Amino acid sequence: MARQVFYFDPPQRFVTGTVGDPGDRTFYLQASGDGRTTSVALEKVQVKLLADRLAELVTEVYRRLGGDDPPVSTAEDLEPLDSPVDEEFRVGAMGLAWDEEAERIVVEAQAATDEPVDEATILEDVEDGPDVLRVRITTTTALAFVDRARRVIAAGRPNCPLCGMPLEAAGHVCPRQNGYRRAH
């Protein structure tokens, strides 16, 4: 199948956000620039992994370039996702790379398919394969993404102090309480 590449170099905005109430949220990556916006859906755990890996990559880049620890991000994009949020695809695989020449981080989110992930198509310019969202961002933009992603994740349901599972408004059946309902 011919692949569609949603490419932003650099995006004016690259964020994660949600639509819906805690416990019933859909997570999105959203890139915008040059009058267009692309939104792709993904799981909460994928947002967390992307934020963690971006933070690790930025730290490694600063270390290898002989610098100190990366600066603390002061960018605070607290705005909601750009509307309308039209899902282009659901993310199945992601890749990160450092472009040393351009001093940019490449983030790629690849559409989920029924086929196993072909790692040769991640971060590569191939004609066939799943659709992708590809952005090239600075380390500063990456750190701002990480900060926002961590806030978005934390804005969900509180966790049970005993088992760590998310609490529903009506409580939940806590395995540490031998199945007794634990109130919120």
Domains and CATH numbers, the chain: 5-157 (3.30.2450)
Q: What is the pLDDT along the chain (184 residues), one digit of tens a residue?
A: 688 999 999 999 999 999 998 888 999 999 999 999 999 999 999 999 999 999 999 999 988 887 777 777 777 888 999 999 999 999 999 999 999 999 999 999 999 998 887 777 788 888 888 999 999 999 999 999 999 999 999 988 777 788 877 777 677 777 877 766 656 5
Q: Which helix (H) or strand (E) segment is 11 a member of?
A: none
CB-CB contact of 42 with 91 (8 Å) = yes
Count of CA atoms in the C-beta half-sphere (13 A) of 126:
14
The whole-model pTM stands at 0.85
Q: How many CB atoms lie within 10 A of CB 84?
A: 7
d(CA 95, CA 105): 10
Residues 141-161 pLDDT 10s = 999 999 999 999 998 877 778
At 52, the amino acid letter reads D
163/184 Cα distance (integer angstroms): 13
The values of phi and psi at residue 45, to 5°, are -65, -35
Short-list 26, 61, 20, CA closest to 43: 26
Structure-token pair, residue 46: 């994928």
